[in-house]
Structure 1
Amino acid sequence: MYPVLFAKTLTGTATSKADGVHIDASWSVYYANEAELTKGADLVVKGTVSKEKGSKFKKGDFSSYSTDVDLTITKIIKGDTAQIGANIIVSQMGGTDGVNTVFSSHSTHLKKDQEVVLFLRKVDVNTYIPLNEDDGIYVNEKDKYNNISSKKELK
């Protein structure tokens, strides 16, 4: 579930469709570039998705559905350098309870073994969320880090 801190910045609608519930979020903060993402982030890291952990949810509360992965940090770009080599949890909007599936138009879920650069906000002791979901995620594609959604290259 997304924390109160994040929920205050999230507006949007949820609609039921045959293939699941679709959430269309809008963000209260726009980040024009990587410098603004870095400034807004609590932690900026390079790492590898080591495990897909699955979904968390409160049954029937579609805004609470999230999907978590473990990320092994290989480099700290902003934050505590003592975290190099540590695992953190990255939580993204959307998930499934086995019956209901919740999709967010702004969340492309991370997959095991992806190498990524993430701009993150801390929401719990060892749990983080990407800034504006896909806006804060860059995936290694042929030795270049491209945004998971827009495909814009990280400079």
Structure 2
Amino acid sequence: MTISVQDYKAMVGKELGVSRWFEFDQKRIDAFAACTEDFQFIHIDPERAAATPFEGTIAHGFLTLSMLSAMAYELFPKLEGTTMGVNYGLNKVRFLAPVRAGKRIRGRMTLLDVLERHPGVLQSTYEVNVEIEGEDKPALLAEWVGLTYV
């Protein structure tokens, strides 16, 4: 289902929803380490990481952040006439709690603002809260900006 730009703008201030859960097993963490060449032991060496305050391996903060795209596919409304959407960046991001290997995360997103940058180009700002299953503190909070070409 698609919605009009006018209906989309009326959603400012409203929660867009909550994504499905994504599992962060050691295999996913190791694959991200290989892609980014970030081999810090707290991510890839369970034995050494067990001796840290984390008591085991944790996901890279940037791995957690990278999952926003997958969450957005589930949560962002489809706008009539859209030719493409692109990531414009982040106004702010804070990593508040580690995601331990074996945990699951999900995203909760709210549409904060929509402005027309140019005719046919919308800039949307979203508040993102990435929750960790069974934990009170979120993995991260971010303000994410995207462009939609309509």
TM-score of the superposed pair, with normalisation by structure 1? 0.26
Q: Which has the higher helix share?
A: 2
Q: Which has the higher strand share?
A: 1
Structure number, greater radius of gyration: 2
